[in-house]
């Protein structure tokens, strides 16, 4: 307990999946949470759960595809705490279909949610995080995907933009690590989230069959598997870790 004590963390996608797991774990470890999500009911439920367990968390309903909503998250954080120490960009969407069926709407949807929103969030909060050099105690953690490094059929746009997040994050370390902000990337493999097809979530048999082909460890990942890594990367245990590219995939990239 206490690994995130003193941290003021903004977490996007807090209503489900990786964002929810990270926000809950960080709150348990002592962080104060500002959680954002497009889905007001799910997002507020996560925040209410954290507060019910004695944590400190605030919810902001926000569409990250709208720049004014990103500024709203910043305004709430500044009004409540004056600054932040930690940013976790977890919100994301997946469009999964044959390449010739992709259209401009698909492209815009993935670009605006999985790439542009990350840029806007970092541009909003980095000025706060660099006001005083924290010598690595302030950090940004961006969620990419193994789709950015391992070809996946029908995930063309998704993989391309996740690769962009991966490289951009590591490039930004050149500019911002000397100012005290570390930036790291997590590339999750097959983790059960809201984007996982319902028939997979509800069938242990399908999951077991999938593992034979996609994971060398005999189970699909859970959001907490990613939250453990995110906690390390954004805690003071990792003040000398920046530009890291953590692949957490149950061995999926080793399966060919």
Q: Are 183 and 242 in contact (CB under 8 A)?
A: yes
In tens, the pLDDT along 207-243 reads 677 666 777 787 888 999 999 999 999 999 999 999 9
Q: Report the C-alpha gap between 199 and 197 in whole angstroms.
A: 6
Model confidence band, residue 206 (pLDDT cutoffs 50, 70, 90): low
Mean pLDDT within 106-133: 96
In tens, the pLDDT along 101-114 reads 989 999 999 999 99
CA distances for 135 relative to 129, 130, 175, angstroms? 11, 10, 14
Q: Report the C-alpha gap between 221 and 190 in whole angstroms.
A: 6
CA angle 203-207-213, nearest 5°?
150
Q: Are 119 and 89 in contact (CB under 8 A)?
A: no
Mean pLDDT within 138-164: 91
Give all domains of the chain, ordered by start, each with its CATH number.
Answer: 8-254 (3.40.50.720)
Of the CA atoms within 13 Å of residue 65, those in its CB half-sphere come to 10
Q: Are 230 and 22 in contact (CB under 8 A)?
A: yes
3-state SS, 106-161, equals: HHHHHHHHHHHHHHHHHHHHHHHHCCCCCCCCEEEEEECCHHHCCCCCCCHHHHHH
pLDDT beyond 70 at 55? yes
- Choosing from 118, 156, 157, 158, the catalytic residue is 158
What is the pTM assigned to this prediction? 0.93
Q: Report the C-alpha gap between 247 and 15 in whole angstroms.
A: 23
pLDDT at res. 249: 87
CA distances for 190 relative to 127, 151, 181, 222, angstroms? 34, 13, 29, 9
158 is catalytic: yes
């Amino acid at each position: 307990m206490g690994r995130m004590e003193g941290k003021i963390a903004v977490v996007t996608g807090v209503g489900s999946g990786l964002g929810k797991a990270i926000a809950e774990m960080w709150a348990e470890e002592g962080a104060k949470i500002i959680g954002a999500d497009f889905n007001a009911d799910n997002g507020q439920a996560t925040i209410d759960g954290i507060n019910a367990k004695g944590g400190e968390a605030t919810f902001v309903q926000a569409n990250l595809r709208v720049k004014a909503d990103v500024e709203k998250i910043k305004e709430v954080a500044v009004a409540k705490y004056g600054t932040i120490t930690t940013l976790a960009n977890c919100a994301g969407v997946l469009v999964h279909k044959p390449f010739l069926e992709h259209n401009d709407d698909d492209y815009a949807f993935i670009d605006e949610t999985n790439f542009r929103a990350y840029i806007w969030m970092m541009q909003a909060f980095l000025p706060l995080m660099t006001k005083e050099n924290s010598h690595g105690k302030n950090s940004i953690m961006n969620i990419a995907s193994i789709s950015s490094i391992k070809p996946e059929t029908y995930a063309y746009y998704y993989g391309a933009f996740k690769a962009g997040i991966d490289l951009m994050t590591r490039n930004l370390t050149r500019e911002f690590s000397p100012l005290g902000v570390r930036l790291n990337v997590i590339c999750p493999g097959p983790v059960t989230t809201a984007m996982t097809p319902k028939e997979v979530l509800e069938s242990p048999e399908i999951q077991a069959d999938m593992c034979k082909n996609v994971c060398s460890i005999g189970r699909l990942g859970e959001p907490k598997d990613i939250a453990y890594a995110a906690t390390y990367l954004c805690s003071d245990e990792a003040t000398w870790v920046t530009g890291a590219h953590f692949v957490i995939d149950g061995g999926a990239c080793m399966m060919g």
